[in-house]
A and B are shown apart, each in its own frame.
Chain A
Amino acid sequence: MSFQTDNKLVKWFDDRLPLVTVMHHTFVQHPYPRNLNIAYQFGSILGVMLTLQIITGIVLAMHYTPHTSLAFDSVEHIMRDVNYGWLLRYMHANGASMFFIAVYLHMFRGLYYGSYKAPRELIWMIGVVILLVMMGTGFMGYVLPWGQMSFWGATVITNLFSALPVVGDPIVTWLWGGFAVDNPTLNRFFALHYLLPFVIFGLVFLHLVALHQKGSTNPLGIEIKGPADYISFHPYFTVKDFFGFAAFGVIFAVFVFWFPNYLGHADNYIPADPLVTPAHIVPEWYFLPFYAILRAVPDKLMGVLAMFAAIGVLFILPWLDRSRVKSAAFRPMYKWFFWIFALNCIVLGYVGSQPAEGLMLIISRIATIYYFVHFLILMPVLGWFERPKPLPTSISEAVLAAKAGNSAGGNA
C-alpha cells in the first residue's frame, strides 16, 4: 500500500520531491512486528528527547555567555531573570539525564533481544557511535555553567589524554588551548556542544535508514515471514509511542518540577576556582560505571584504555556473540548472564560514586573484570555450550498460541 492522493498540489510536489511518500512510508505504513513490547518503547522516546534537548539548548544559548568571567553569572541570569529560564534550564539539565536513562534502557533491550546480531550489526554500531557522541556532548555541556564541578570535571577528563605516551601532554595542551582549562577551553566546548547534537541527529537518521532496511527485531527474535506477522506503524505504534511519551514525560516532569537538582552536584553552584579542587569529585551519574572502570585499574594508561575499551567492546559485540538465537527468551543460560551483567553495571555505577578505597576498590576491580569477562569470554563461549529452546515457526503463530492459552486459562 503506497501513498495515494487526489490532491493535485501534493501530487505535483511529491512527484518532484518525494517527501510525503517517505514520511508516509516511515510514519504510517512501515511494517513492525505485531509483538513489540514495552522494551521497544525507548527508540521513539530518544527521538523526542534529542529534539527537546536541541530546542531547549538553542533557547538557552540565546541567554548564555561562553566566557570564564561571565558564564556562571549568565546561568544565574537564566535562572533568575529570563522568563521561564529556570524551566528551560532544568528541562535541559534533567533532559540530559533522561536521555541517558532512555539510551541505556534502549541498549539493554538490544542486549536482551539480540538486536545487534546479523543482519542488524550496523544499526547497533551506529548506535554505539551515537552513545560516544552523546557522552562527549553531555560532558562538554556540563562544563558550560563554569561551576566547580564543571571546571574540575573538564580538568580530569581532558587529563585522561595525558596518559598517552609521548603525545599525551601536547594533546592535552591542544585540547585546552593553553596551559590549563581556561577561557579558550570553555569557548571551544560551547561551540562543540552546540554542534554535536546535530551530528547526533545525522547519525540517528542513518540509524533509522538502517533500521528500516532490515526492520525491527522483536521479543521472539525471529524475522517477519508473512502479513500475519506485522502491523503498520500507524495507528498501532503511534498510539503506543504516544503512550510511552506520556509515561516518560511524567517521570521527566517529576524531576524537573520537584527534584531539579537531585541528579546534579551542589558543588556546581560554586563558581569555578582554578586554585581549589572540591573534596570529592565525581562525574554525572551516567558516566559512573565507566569512571569506576577507570579507577579500578592501578595504572594510569591502562585505566584510560580500559575505560575506552568498555565502550569499544560494544563495537565488536555482533561478532563476539556466537549464538544464532537472538532473543534471550530462548536462551536459558544467556538470560541469567544478561541479568548478572545488568546488575554488574549498576554495581559499577555505585562504586563509581564512592571514594575509590578499601572495599569499594576491591568491588570495582571484580566488577570491572566481570564486565570484560561477560563480553570477551561468556558471549563467545555461550554460543557453543548453550542449548537454546525451540523457536516458534512464526510470530503470528506464537502470538496467537499465547492468546489462546490466556483465554483458555484466564477467561474460562
Chain B
Amino acid sequence: MSAASHGEDGVERRDFLVITAGAFVGVGAVGLVWPFVDQMNPSADVLALSSTEVDISAIEPGQSITISWRGKPVFVRRRTEAEIAAAGAVDLADLPDPESDDLRHKEGKAEWLVVLGICTHLGCVPLGFQGEYDGWFCPCHGSHYDTSGRIRKGPAPSNLEVPEYEFLTDTQIKIG
C-alpha cells in the first residue's frame, strides 16, 4: 500500500470505493423493488371504475337499494318523515360516535341517505330495516345502526361511512 492512498485520518481509497459502490447498489436495489411492490396496487382499469352513477328516481320513501361501487355495497335509502325525525331527535351525547344527522346527508336532501354498506366492526354487510333502531343490524356480531347509519349499540366503533358523492340532477347521483 503506497503512502499516497492514505488520507491523513486513515481513510483509504478503498473505503471510498466500498461506500460509493454500496450506495449505488443500495439505491438501485430500492429502485428495482418499487415496481414489484406497486404492481399490487389497484391497476388502471380498476381505478377507472372508481365512480359509479345511480338513477334514484324509482326509489319510494321507505325503500332502500344496494348498489356496487368499487366492488363494495353502497346503501341508497329514501327515508320517511318519521325516520328523518327519529334520526334528528337523538341527543348527540348518547352516541358512541357523535355526529349530527345534518352532516350525514346533502343539504336540503334529508330524504336521501347514502352510506357504505360495510359494518365498521369487521367488514360484514349489515341488514336494512332491522335492529333496535330500525336502521341496520349487522348479523355477524350484533351491531345496531340507526336511521342515519350511526352506531348505537354493539361492538362496531364508528358510524357507517358516508362515501363521497354528489347529486348530478334530482334523480341522479354520482358516487366517488
Interface residues of A (CB under 8 A from B): 55, 59, 62-63, 77, 80-85, 87-88, 242
Contact = CB atoms under 8 A, between A and B. Distances in A.
B39 A85 contact: yes
Contacts of B103: none
7 closest Cβ pairs, A-B complex = A84-B35, A81-B44, A81-B43, A81-B45, A83-B38, A82-B43, A83-B39
B45 A62 contact: no
B40 interface: yes
18 contacts: A55-B36, A59-B39, A62-B39, A77-B43, A77-B45, A81-B44, A81-B45, A82-B39, A83-B38, A83-B39, A83-B43, A84-B36, A84-B38, A84-B39, A87-B35, A88-B36, A88-B39, A242-B25
Interface size class of B (residues with CB under 8 A): 10 to 19
A91 to B, nearest CB: 9
B44 A59 contact: no
Contacts of A85: 39, 43
Nearest to A239: B21
Nearest to A245: B25
B35 A88 contact: yes
Interface of B: 25, 34-36, 38-41, 43-46
Contacts of A87: 35
B36 A59 contact: yes
Contact of A62 (B34, B35, B40, B44): B40
A219 to B, nearest CB: 27
Contacts of B34: 84
Contacts of A88: 35-36, 39
Nearest to A91: B35
Contacts of A63: 39, 43
Contacts of B44: 80-83
Contacts of A77: 43, 45
Nearest to B21: A242
